[in-house]
Amino acid sequence: MSSQANASNDDLQQLAEQLSTPDCRITPSAITRARDGQGRYFEPLMRVPPLRFATDMLDPRRALDQASVLSAYAPLTGKKVLEIGSGGGVTHIVWSKAHHIDGWGIEPEGEGFGDTATIARDLIRANGLDASRIVNATGEALPFRDASFDIVYSTNVLEHTSDPAQVLREAVRVLRPGGTLQIVCPNYLSYFDGHYAAFHPPIFSNAFFRWWIKWVWRRDPAFAGTIRTEINPVWVRKQLKRIGKITPISLQTLGQEKFRERMKTADVPGMRGLSMIARLVSIARRLGLSTLAAEVMILAQGWTPLIITVKREGP
C-alpha cells in the first residue's frame, strides 16, 4: 500500500479481505468511513494513522477476544444480548454468527461520531443480518422493557456517557434475574489513557486530566473534557451498592484476575496506542517484575481496564 492516507480502491479491497473472517465480512466502505471519521479525529490526539485506527476498530478478532472474557462469567451462545454502544457493528455481527445470539444494540445517531450507527447498519446488512436490531438510543434511556436480556454488554462506552451511573442503573433494569452485565471501561486511578495514548498519574478530577493532557502531552484537551474520569473501582462499588438496595445483584469481578493474567503472560492487545503498553509489560515480564507490578497496581486500585461484571440475582 503506497500510503495509509491515500489508499486506492484496490488497496482498500485487499485490506477488507485481510480483515474479514468467516464470521464477519468487512467492507471497503466501512474502512473508509471509519478512517475518515473517528480515525482522522483521533489522529492528532493518539498519534495513530487514521487507517490503522479504522482497521483496529473493525477487526473481528477483537470481538472473539471479548467473547472469551465474557464467557468466563456467563455462557454466550444462544442468549438474548444487548450491546450498549454497538460502534461499527462488528461485535454484533461476530457474536450473532459465531455464538448464535439473539442480539440487539444501541448506538445514538447525531451525537459525537454520528456516522458510526450508519457504518454499523451498512456492515450488518452486508453480512446478511437485520440492521434494525441497532436502535437509535442512549444507555441512559434504554428503549426496552424490564428484565428483557440474558446479557448486557458494553466496551469503551461508559466513560463517554453523560451519566454513567444512570447507564449502570438502566443496564441492570433490563437484565433478567440470573443474567449477567459486563462493562469494560478505563480505570482513571490507573496510569494510561487509551484515547490519547498517554501515561498519567491517578486522576481525581477532570480539570487535572485536561491540564495534564494540555501541558504535559501538549495536545488539545477538548476531548479530555468530555471523558467521565470519575470512573474507578471505588466509584463503581459505590454505584453498585446503591443499585443493590433496589435490585438484588452480586459483583463477580472488576477485572483484577484478567489484569493479573495479562501481566503474567504479556498478552496485551497491540491495537492503537496500546502497543507501548504491550512493550512495557513484555519488558517487565522478562525482568521478572510483572507479577509484583500487577499486585502493587491492584493494591493501589490502579489496574486497567475495569471489567465490571455483575449478576442479577433471582431464579
Question: What is the mean pLDDT of each successive set of 10 residues along the chain, which is 315 residues long?
Answer: 58 94 96 92 90 94 94 95 96 97 91 75 96 95 97 96 98 97 96 89 96 96 96 98 96 94 67 53 56 85 95 87
Q: Which residues touch 68 (CB under 8 Å, ≥6 apart)?
A: none
pLDDT the model gives residue 47: 86
CA nearest neighbour of 159 among 184, 191, 190: 184
pLDDT the model gives residue 293: 78
Q: In residues, how long is the chain?
A: 315
Phi-psi region of 8 (alpha: psi -120 to 50; beta: other; left: phi over 0): beta
* 188-242 per-position pLDDT tens digit: 999 989 899 889 999 999 999 999 999 999 999 999 999 999 999 999 999 999 9
Q: Which amino acid, one-letter code, is at 314?
A: G
pLDDT the model gives residue 110: 64
pLDDT the model gives residue 2: 37
Cell numbers placing 292: 509484583
Residues of the chain with CATH 3.40.50.150: 60-187+231-312
Query: Tell me: domain 60-187+231-312, CATH 3.40.50.150, correct?
Result: yes
Quote the CA–CA distance of 1 and 22 in Å, as a whole number. 24
pLDDT the model gives residue 267: 60
